[in-house]
Amino acid sequence: MTPGFAGTTRNRDAIEFARSTRVRTSEIVFLLAAVLSWFLLPRQAPMLNEMAILALFAVSLDLILGYAGIVSLGHAAFFGTGAYVAALFAKHWLPDPLVGLAVAALGSALLGLATSVLVLRGSDLTRLMVTLGVALILYELANRFDNITGGADGLQGVVMGPLLGRFAFDMGGRVAFGYSLTVLVLLFVVARRIVNSKFGYGLRAIRDNPRRATAIGIGSHGRLAAVYTVSAAYAGIAGALLAQTTGFASLDVYDFHRSADVLLVLVIGGVGWLYGGVIGAIVFTLMHDVLSGLTQQYWQFWIGLLLVVLVLVGRERIGNVAQRLVRGRDPNAQGDLPP
Amino acid sequence: MLTILFDGIAYGMLLFLLASGLAVTLGLMNFVNLAHGAFAMAGGYLTAVLSNRLGVPFLVCLPLAFLFSAALAAVLEPTLYRRLYRRPHLDQVLFTIGLVFMAVAAVDYVYGSTQQFVRVPDFLRQRFDIAGVGIGGYRLFIIVVCGVLTLALQAVLTRTRFGSRLRAAVDDPRVASGLGIDVNKIFLITFAFGSGLAGLGGALGAEILGLDPTFPLKFMIYFLIVVAVGGTTTITGPLLASLLLGVADVAGKYYVPKLGGFIIYSVMIAVLMLRPQGLFARAGGR
């Protein structure tokens, strides 16, 4: 913590800080449940794989939306880039999944770094339109260069090599799920460390009041650019996992509905709280499974209804319930975006 | 070449008509309403249903489309929208995206996902040839209608008592209501009128823009561009922005068919970076 506080405040802050970073029992239970699902639900592996990828994507959005207050309507830009980079890399250079994952992360991180200058300044509306614009531009580019990307038909013939040279991706999708889950857990731990570091607290200060943060010496530009880049890399990895485990990438990865869906996922689970993305992904995927079984074509209607109801009821209320279930109690509710 | 310019202007005028309501809600009231296109779609579908199935003449459909969308908005504003004026932008975004999704799926359910065609009366289908420039009668009609409406809008906003009340309500709702202005009513009327214009635009534009259930999503970014690039301090700003966008889009689709969208989005980002308040904003404007 910053030196110079009065003794008691400092101690209390230190205790709060320690408490917020300590691993809770509920978190361990959560992790165990995830691992057990791999053993106990082999037939559900494809769906669980989807869940893990969506969770990672939502965590990536949470880093910029929940912790830095950047409202993005175009997060699919990074997801799609990761997916295409991974698919193209596997098809033309090297089919090894892990190298492909690293390359995809690097590719989308570079894109994130390049476009981060666009979201540093401006109001919510400007950011909204710029992020949306970037995703649309990439969609148009992928459509234009369909000789490379395969256009609307998708990129066919991506064959992945075995994982670590040993585990080949099987039809049942268990290897795929294990792979995605491992990546999710590792990256989640990293994200947890990031948001509980000084850097993470700096971000929250910027989110809550950028001017005051700057005044007390927390420069916003560098931090925002950094977290935007990290978030882009995360989204890229999520996209790469999708492309690698399905062996396919199409224009759909850049589509607007992806950006909107991930926003919904995060809102279901709670913004500004990393588990929000994971819980949201679980609820969303299960809901998708049930609802699209009932009404294949019109499930979008229910998504819309859910969004409307969530906002009218108040997302913070629902988020708080979920947080209380996992945290037990909530010492300093890192609730929501400031108005 | 000049025909492209002419078509572009007609397209731009149409975009302006569609987006002008958004310029008020988003620009003045600072409410991010992504569902604006849904009201336009409502007007378009009403026209398609009335004229194709019931045989109502096209010109009668247009005012009906206006009234229908306005009525829809007048119902939704006090029940749903009003609660969200003071909420964070994220809430507004989520809420209005939700509305869009519901509208898209509902229209798909009732009318199917195919494109709807609105039959334009024969006397508007003629083509003129003036000094070697081919001019479509329907596009001329659009330009005239939108032009008249724009002038009327400008007059209402700047010359009438309602216009000054609206500006007062937007600048400072508390003081305005302290002065005896019924702010809620003003916002309701404005919102309904803006949505009505969108409905009219949807009806007029069904022929040119195409009308299918994804209409609100497809044109969302266009409306946002008009408002964000045009700025919100005047109505000339969005008008010029719409004309620019219209001409650029038509020309782009004609000359570089596969890169049209790309150019427009890039220009939009560049403008937003250089002039965050919009291209035609006055200094000091809010």
CATH placement of domain B2-274: 1.10.3470
Q: What is the pLDDT of residue A5?
A: 44
User: Residue A73: its chain B contacts at CB < 8 A?
Assistant: 93
Is the complex ipTM more than 0.95? no
Can you give chain A as a three-state secondary structure string? CCCCCCHHHHHHHHHHHHHHHCCCHHHHHHHHHHHHHHHHCHHHHHHHHHHHHHHHHHHHHHHHHCCCCCCCCCCHHHHHHHHHHHHHHHHHCCCCHHHHHHHHHHHHHHHHHHHHHHHHCCCHHHHHHHHHHHHHHHHHHHHHCHHHHCHHHCECCCCCCCECCCECCCCCCHHHHHHHHHHHHHHHHHHHHHHCCHHHHHHHHHHHCHHHHHHCCCCHHHHHHHHHHHHHHHHHHHHHHHHHHHCCECHHHHCHHHHHHHHHHHHHHCCCCHHHHHHHHHHHHHHHHHHHHHCCCCHHHHHHHHHHHHHHHCHHHHHHHHHHHHHCCCCCCCCCCCC
Domain segments of chain A as ranges? 42-327
Taking the Cβ of residue B80 and every Cβ of chain A, the question of whether any pair is shorter than 8 Å is answered with: yes
pLDDT at A263 over 50: yes
pLDDT at B283 over 50: no
What confidence category does residue A3 fall into, taking pLDDT thresholds of 50, 70 and 90? very low
pTM (two decimals): 0.82
User: Residue B106: its chain A contacts at CB < 8 A?
Assistant: 301
Taking the Cβ of residue B265 and every Cβ of chain A, the question of whether any pair is shorter than 8 Å is answered with: yes
Q: Which of B94, B229, B271, B279 to mutate to test the interface with A (most CBs of A within 10 A)?
A: B94
- In this predicted model, what pLDDT tens digit does every residue of B144-200 receive, in sequence order? 888 888 888 888 888 888 888 887 887 777 888 888 888 888 888 888 888 998 888
Q: What is the pLDDT of residue A4?
A: 44
Domain segments of chain B as ranges? 2-274
Contact residues, A window 131-190, toward B, CB-based 8 Å cutoff: 132-134, 136-137, 140-141, 143-144
Q: Which of B83, B91, B256, B277 to mutate to test the interface with A (most CBs of A within 10 A)?
A: B91
User: Residue A264: its chain B contacts at CB < 8 A?
Assistant: 94
Q: What is the pLDDT of residue A334?
A: 45
- In this predicted model, what pLDDT tens digit does every residue of A31-90 receive, in sequence order? 888 777 777 777 777 888 888 999 999 999 999 988 888 888 889 999 999 999 998 888
> How large is the average pLDDT for residues B54-67?
83
User: Residue B83: its chain A contacts at CB < 8 A?
Assistant: 312
CA angle in degrees (0–180, nearest 5) for A180-A186-A192:
125
Contact residues, A window 279-318, toward B, CB-based 8 Å cutoff: 297-301, 303-308, 310-312, 315
| Contact (Cβ atoms closer than 8 angstroms) between residue A247 and residue A86 | no
Which of the following CATH numbers is that of domain A42-327: 1.10.155, 1.10.3470, 2.60.40, 1.10.1760?
1.10.3470
